[in-house]
Chains A and B, each alone.
Chain A
């Protein structure tokens, strides 16, 4: 195909897409209006399953399969990073220098670390009740661990962060999500269907059937994935040096 023909194909496709987009936009409900066909159905379904946070119900119940896809993307991305940022033959490890951080900063980091970890767990656990969920809580908890690097030095972080275990945790959490989905099959319905557990009392921690379980799996997966990802970046930035002629 010549360059000219390719351009025409591109233009035709682009024009078709533009027409469809404009047609769709013209029939969108108005901004801030009171007609939400999808929203009303989603809220109805989430209330029927006693999940107070409709977004969690959409993410982990009505569209749980999509979340499985997103989780796989994160898993694959972190795997790619681990492969790309490994230590190659012409690189060597230098011991990170101990850092002398000002005392108030160090104290702040050590005090806030447990608070931030607890907040991460709180956000994961309350995913089906209030804004938040596995992803948000997992990121907060993983960031909290890195206060050790910021407030002390890299050696301190490495002591509480055996990367291998976090890699195992990442894989285990991903499989836990899939296993919970398959358990739905055994229950006689469909993959990831929320029919396995009783729905519980509305607006309590144990409500929502499998939503809290899937939330916890995602929380653990994201926290481990972020820790592994940052470990690779920190290794490259702090420890690994290229062999030079000196």
Chain B
């Protein structure tokens, strides 16, 4: 019965990873990725690996979204400038 929580965490990881791959728009993908990070941290915790879970939380909850969103923003602005020149 104690394995139930492991099964739940594994299913959540599989589902959110699939959604992250299936989402096309990078901004929405970043949102799914943030949720995936939290779910992965839960999986690591129930597998008794809190150190890895802590790494995942530290990187996945704020740092990865910030890097991704900054990159998306730069690319969009460049696109807008190109359009302005035309």
Contacts of B77 in A (CB 8 A): 237, 241
Contacts of B11 in A (CB 8 A): none
Q: Does A146 contact B (CB under 8 A)?
A: yes
B-contact 0/1 string along A109-153, CB 8 Å cutoff: 000000000000001000000011101100110110010000000
Q: How far is the CA of A143 from the CA of B67 in the complex (A)?
A: 11
Evaluate contact between B58 and A230: CB separation under 8 angstroms. Answer: no
Evaluate contact between B71 and A233: CB separation under 8 angstroms. Answer: yes
Evaluate contact between A135 and B66: CB separation under 8 angstroms. Answer: no
Q: How far is the CA of A131 from the CA of B52 in the complex (A)?
A: 9
**Most chain B C-beta atoms within 10 Å of own C-beta, residue among A146, A230, A234, A237:** A237
Q: Does A245 contact B (CB under 8 A)?
A: yes
Q: Does A226 contact B (CB under 8 A)?
A: yes
Q: Does B70 contact A (CB under 8 A)?
A: yes
Q: Does A55 contact B (CB under 8 A)?
A: yes
Interfacial residues of chain A within 70-109, with CB under 8 A of chain B in the complex: none
Evaluate contact between B58 and A246: CB separation under 8 angstroms. Answer: no
Count of A interface residues, CB-CB < 8 Å: 27
Contacts of B81 in A (CB 8 A): 241-242, 244
Evaluate contact between A131 and B50: CB separation under 8 angstroms. Answer: yes
Q: How far is the CA of A203 from the CA of B47 in the complex (A)?
A: 24
Q: How far is the CA of A132 from the CA of B59 in the complex (A)?
A: 13
Grouping DSSP codes into helix (H, G, I), strand (E, B) and loop, the A interface class, with mixed when no group exceeds half, is helix
Contacts of B85 in A (CB 8 A): 244-246
Evaluate contact between B63 and A139: CB separation under 8 angstroms. Answer: yes
Interfacial residues of chain B within 38-64, with CB under 8 A of chain A in the complex: 50-51, 53-55, 57-59, 62-63
Q: Does A236 contact B (CB under 8 A)?
A: yes
Evaluate contact between A234 and B70: CB separation under 8 angstroms. Answer: yes
Other-chain contact of B67, A56, A132, A233, A245 (Cβ < 8 Å): A233
Evaluate contact between B67 and A131: CB separation under 8 angstroms. Answer: no
Q: Please list the residues of chain A having a beta carbon within 8 angstroms of any beta carbon in chain B.
A: 32, 53, 55-56, 123, 131-133, 135-136, 139-140, 142-143, 146, 226, 229-230, 233-234, 236-237, 241-242, 244-246
Q: Please list the residues of chain B having a beta carbon within 8 angstroms of any beta carbon in chain A.
A: 3, 50-51, 53-55, 57-59, 62-63, 66-67, 70-71, 73-74, 77-78, 81, 84-85
Please list 5 pairs of residues, one from A and one from B, whose beta carbons are closer than 8 Å in the complex, sorted by A's number.
A131-B51, A140-B58, A236-B74, A237-B71, A237-B74
